[in-house]
Structure 1
Amino acid sequence: MFSPSSAPAGFPGTAGSRIAAVAGVRPERVVSNEELGGGLGVAAEWIERRVGVRERRFAGPEETVTAMAAGAAAKALSTAGLTPADIDLLVLATCSMPSPMPSGAASVAALIGAPHLAAFDVNAACAGFCYALGVADGLIRSGTSRRALVIGAERMTDWVDPDDVDTATVFADGAGAAVVVASEHRGIHPVEWGGDGDKAGLIAIPDRHGSVGMQGQAVYRWVTTELAAVAAAACARAGIAPADLRGFVTHQANLRMIERLAKSLGATNAVVARDIVETGNTSAASVPLALARLIDHGQVRPGDPVLLMGFGAGLSYAAQVIACP
């Protein structure tokens, strides 16, 4: 129970923050292109050629947004050698909660056994994790927080029309979490973020009982013509050239889009995350899931400079260079 006399005085500001660990949770059910395409009347090869997905994960009844988020958080904490008691902030990036209240973050805090944490949601859709990471970095550097959980978790299948070829072939479910801690040196460089609200309707759920609609070609043009400059600006804010990157982890929206962005940026020495092939588009969960896969497979090493970039509905974008945990 909170009491004013027991409230902490706060922490001194720090030079920076860093990601201490990252982990992901994918639902049990694997859905192949053959299974999905059969119901939609399209060939498995057509799906892969169009969006780059071979299979994806669909959540079961018990695999809720908050349950998956809590599972990813527990894995990340274990990897970092910390417990929920060591954390003072939880930020959940999601756009697929079944209800606007209570916040998903409050429920996740309770599920991990830390119900008194400062906890709140961020809804920037597919850019959400990078937005949340920027917020956590700022709060730690200001001295407001010392150790934070930043989570992206989605059940996009709850909001997709299963008969819509444009969305049903790409969206999927999952969660990824990062433990962010204070550091003497910047392991999370300044975020480059923004959006284009004039185009907000290109990806939208028109009402609370509706399903997501997407003008895919217009979104593709926006990403491939405008966002390489955002990635370059994030590199500049970190003081490195794109060729210095060792990892390139963008929102997993479309494989052709991802590869075109990497080429346009000139990330010639970076391993490009292609988690979409086996996981699909998990919105705010896609960046931490893709980063965790690169780390688990040994494709990036501790200290490597890695660009993270999310983009999507809003239209919102956020990018920052991190030091790989």
Structure 2
Amino acid sequence: MNWKHLRTFCKIFVGIVTGESITMIVLLIVYLTTTSEQNLEEGHIKFYTTIYIATTITVAIFAFLIVIYQNIFQLFTFAIAHVLLTSYMLYDFLTSTAKIRFGFLFLILICDALYIYTLWRIYFEVKWDFWQRAGTSSRMQTLYKLWSIFLNILQVNCMLDFILDLSSCALLFSFHSFGTYLDIFGMILVFIWFWVGYSAYKYEYPKRIYFFFGLSVLQPTWTIIKWAGFDIEGKNNSKYNTGPYNTYRGIAIVSLIARIAAIVFALIGFLHFGEGLKDRLLEKYMDENTFLTDPQIENTGIQNSDGDDDEDDDETSTEDF
């Protein structure tokens, strides 16, 4: 692997994501503030703008996680997510009369072309290192692959829930209502859920993995309640069957599917606790965070059992250490 090339393409990738995100958010804020209050309510512009801003933020965060973890499955997920975002923006542009949205679409299409090139190069640079980290054993490679997919699903689930909670504030509640406080609590809870699942799987804590399973069922309850409310109200009011509410339902479905997948992969990982993945992950961590170098070992003053400072005994002790 050529580290120089990898660093170069990672910098380009992060630069593109950062530039796109800042430009998108500025355009969205301008769009939101220059639209009349009546059009905001009639076109549910506040909801869609919030969706776009939340999605832009989460995509940017996911891009930084790709650079940090160098997980090849995250590369695939990012590519799929951006294709879906482009498709949705294209549909929105073709069905809308808002001219400023042409700027959104043009920006995303340009960035898509750049992403295809940079992600392709990053993939070939990190692919070899990814499997080197997994080890030479085919069984260990399988366990490492399961761990990487699980970590990817956790991150995707967190981002989807963040989008759901933030968009429901714009769709259903004012930003000082009780429902908004529940959404904020839901955002906090999903990050707790992520940390519990991450630490339980990585460090193989059986009790914590049970807690993760419980949170996996509890955390989406508020989303399901809102979804059920849409269906109940939709029988008497067609407003609850329009685009924004259907968009919310669609994101909720994807989030619940990802939640089920996280539970399944956590269960598979739990069944393989004690088979060496923990040691492999910690070994990788120690390799990257070595606090004790060879010169420091030599200067620790290790002595033999007789307390002598004999040079030969010191060398033997150091080698044994």
> TM-score scaled by structure 1?
0.26
Greater helix share, structure number: 2
Greater strand share, structure number: 1
The structure whose Rg is larger is 2
> TM-score scaled by structure 2?
0.26
